[in-house]
Amino acid sequence: MVQSCDALAGGKCLPCEGGVPALSAAEATAQLAELPAWRLTHDGARIRRDWTLPDFRTAIKLLNNVAALAEREQHHPDLHVEGYRRAWIELTTHAIGGLSINDFILAAKIDRIAPS
């Protein structure tokens, strides 16, 4: 069932040690409609959001804020900076080799703290 962006942002990531199926491509695509700044990558196994920020300091501040959020949620994204101001974040649930609802919860929370 697709959750709204507000419901996702109000959710909590739950530990995932595997043993559950990844979301199907149809489920991931439907849920992604609630998070328009994100896109599917890696054949539907990850979601990604990109930013071009004013400067390096702002890019690092974003990634530091996301890192702190990820620690609170115990769900850790891949964080990237390229050039001095391009940043992107990829989310996947490594234990299942694909997407889980945790990825969408964290994406919604990132959207709340990230510059538009």
Q: Which domain, by its residues, includes 45?
A: 5-11+24-113
Compute φ and ψ for 26, nearest 5 degrees: -65, -40
Quote the DSSP letter at residue 95: G
Asked, for residue 75, whether it belongs to a domain, the answer is yes
Mean pLDDT score across all residues of the chain: 94
Residue 90 forms part of a structural domain: yes
**CATH number of the domain enclosing 76:** 3.30.1360.20
C-alpha 74/C-alpha 12 separation (Å) is 9
Please determine, for residue 18, whether its predicted confidence score (pLDDT) is greater than 80: no
The enclosing H or E element of 64 equals helix 56-73
Residue 98 in any domain: the answer is yes
Look at residue 101 and tell me if it is in a domain: yes
Distance CA 114, CA 54 (A): 13
pTM value surpassing 0.75: yes
Domain assignment present for 34: yes
When divided into structural domains, the chain yields a total of 1
- Residue 75, pLDDT > 90, answer yes
Please give the structure tokens belonging to residue 57: 């300091």
17 in a structural domain? no
